Homo-oligomer: A and B are copies of this chain.
């Protein structure tokens, strides 16, 4: 039974923690495929794109590893310790909310001030009719701000680029993207986000805030950044993937809450879009976190009201309060509303499709190196500046509506709904109102209610076309960028266009059309329903909007789903993150896990008392993370003892490395007592990760010694019988949050090995199974999604 298989699962060699990908032919005897079943191997390379680079990724293990040490620790945990744990859990949720709220305020204050003073200066130049100087100042400031954000991202934390939501989604599904939740990433994300948003780029701070919330949660849970961890005893309870998962869920919902000031929406966003596992207790804790965020935000807005925060307070923290509008609509208004829904679905899926293509191209550029990344970001910045500054000159000046109060039209300051720009007194430039302002103010202006004649349809078309282009070209550049705001801007543009076109035929305000348009495009692209609905409810503060918002969201999502998956799923797929879907594909019922095990390399098992040499050899030659432990020559309580074996459990790589590092070796083959292992190891030791086998030195003599693996083995792994269908195995794998699943034989006989195989996340991915069993796809009738 001594089988050692040579490292067949991955063809990546790990250099400095990152893997270099070697493209390799899949054993290339395709002629004999029907004869030699073994030729079809499940390709399961744990590689994904992390910050434009291909890196090795690890799965997470949410299963409780019940070995002797854990059980002892569990039993000896006193009531006080349980209370400590509960207290700390809530304290951490509180801190996550508090810090997320503070940082969100900070970002808002910074953005409003930087962008505000920049725009004030530009407006001054324009008033003096020094248009070129104005442009130079505008483009220059944007260039510098983008440069700061991009350099930080490129040089210090490539994972801080983009929104981060797909990676958080993957983490909560059980995929650990390296360097995703570190202190550097957090700092770069904060500063980069301020820079990128102030630079007037077509991106939001909403996605980054979700990432920031998660980073804070992760850092708090592990007691600080990797190198300067707080070694507080209480924190040891949180040194496992399960509690970290819960914390990060909490952080993500706090982030959404901070972004939209929507506490219920934040919780629901985490529930609907981000989290894979959910339970009532978590619902309650995330809710607590978002409540704290709201209180912090409110407190700061109260403080800033009196002008203590510079320009902040004149427009900061998006909030499109339309609670004063009496929403009236009749049966006939359903038609334009449904039309918006359909448009949102079509445009949303089209946007997803195009963005996918552009991200592929950008990936090729970004792979070329840091300089190319920078160049890309800066070109987009210059293009944005040119458009934002230049296009308003195309619009003609429109006279102010005399019924408006004098001070509101035209405005010359930073915020305001009727920008004077290059126009004479009592005239305003509607395109400048939308373009030469911060993104938050642009949203507020296009949502503005009771201003039916404010925008010319041509201006809205230009605005829409511009933001379609910017929305596509901006997202993939190497700065922290959220998707929410670009989509809201695009959606509100066509919504308002439709409202203007409907004009006298509808009773719904044009501002509400814009809101519905934004909602429809969000649903069409991101495919959320309930959480979006609640977020829009909390943003607009008007419950009477609820029924039509629901209608628009449902239609947009349904239409969008006909074409392609949601934007986050597309990004996950593009990055190669092995996300496990909630539902197995229909064809997975036609294949058993036994058939999967057949095309995998034979499983590597260890004996209960194993030679040190063999352990070292296996650890060096494979990348497996878990090894079944099998005892031979046992005496079963019934049945014959000839050829009898016993499945003892599963031992983790990290624990094997730990044994080697601590040199817990035995001179002879014998079972140890419980006190022996407890003398050497604590459950805190077992929670340590990241020690590599390459760092451990074992002498020749020691190679001949033995290790008793029994006390370190998880004796209660989840198992399936080889006859179970892949569909059902996948449900189990995902529902319970596994990293490894053992396959047991359906036969019971002497000499049958008690483990048939071991399944990991990669083995259960539809794509990998189909590449090994191409006939399944045909039988499935073609429906494959993406």
Contact = CB atoms under 8 A, between A and B. Distances in A.
A503 interface: no
A320 to B, nearest CB: 12
A167 to B, nearest CB: 19
Nearest to A549: B291
A641 B721 contact: no
A60 interface: no
A740 to B, nearest CB: 14
A744 B716 contact: no
Contact of A725 (B268, B547, B716, B751): B716
Nearest to A273: B280
Given A645-B748, A647-B721, A264 B537 contact: yes
A326 to B, nearest CB: 11
A146 interface: no
Contacts of A465: none
A358 interface: no
A449 to B, nearest CB: 17
A747 interface: yes
Nearest to A537: B264
A84 to B, nearest CB: 15
Contacts of A543: 323, 537-538, 541
A728 B744 contact: no
A626 to B, nearest CB: 15
Most buried by B among A636, A644, A746, A783: A746
A753 B639 CA distance: 8
A156 interface: no
B550 A287 contact: yes
B732 A736 contact: yes
B582 A279 contact: yes
Contacts of A79: 781, 783
A468 interface: no
Most buried by B among A291, A295, A590: A291
A365 interface: no
Contacts of A732: 718, 732, 735-736
A288 B728 contact: no
Copies of the chain in the assembly:
2
A230 B303 CA distance: 65
Given A291-B550, A533-B264, A718-B728, A751 B643 contact: no
Interface in A271-310: 271-272, 278-281, 283-284, 287-288, 291, 294-295, 298
Given A647-B746, A736-B732, A749-B636, A547 B298 contact: yes
A534 interface: yes
Interface string A728-751: 100110011000000011111111
A616 to B, nearest CB: 28
A663 to B, nearest CB: 29
Contacts of A725: 66, 716
Contacts of A720: 718-719
A779 interface: yes
A74 interface: yes
A332 interface: no
Given A546-B294, A589-B71, A748 B646 contact: yes
A267 interface: yes
A530 B647 contact: no
Given A264-B530, A283-B529, A530-B284, A647 B547 contact: no
Contact of A750 (B263, B264, B749): B749
A747 B639 contact: yes
Given A589-B66, A747-B639, A530 B75 contact: no
Contact of A643 (B268, B294, B583, B640): B640
A754 B263 CA distance: 52
B263 A752 contact: no
A11 interface: no
Interface in A212-255: none
Interface string A642-676: 11111111000000000000000000000000000
A515 to B, nearest CB: 15
Contacts of A621: none
Interface in A65-97: 66, 71, 74-75, 79
Interface in A583-597: 583, 586, 589-590, 592
Interface in A548-576: 550-551, 554, 557
Interface in A691-735: 715-721, 723-725, 727-728, 731-732, 735
B589 A287 contact: no
Given A640-B750, A645-B749, 9 more contacts: A66-B725, A279-B582, A281-B582, A284-B554, A287-B533, A294-B546, A636-B747, A719-B721, A735-B736
28 contacts: A66-B589, A75-B779, A263-B547, A264-B537, A264-B546, A268-B268, A278-B278, A279-B583, A280-B582, A283-B530, A287-B533, A291-B550, A294-B546, A323-B543, A636-B749, A638-B752, A639-B752, A644-B747, A644-B752, A645-B749, A648-B746, A715-B723, A718-B732, A732-B736, A735-B736, A744-B744, A747-B754, A748-B754
List the 5 shortest-distance A-B pairs measured between CB atoms, nearest first. A639-B751, A644-B749, A639-B752, A636-B747, A750-B750
Interface of A: 64, 66, 71, 74-75, 79, 263-264, 267-268, 271-272, 278-281, 283-284, 287-288, 291, 294-295, 298, 323, 529-530, 533-534, 537-538, 541, 543, 546-547, 550-551, 554, 557, 582-583, 586, 589-590, 592, 634, 636-649, 715-721, 723-725, 727-728, 731-732, 735-736, 744-754, 779, 781, 783
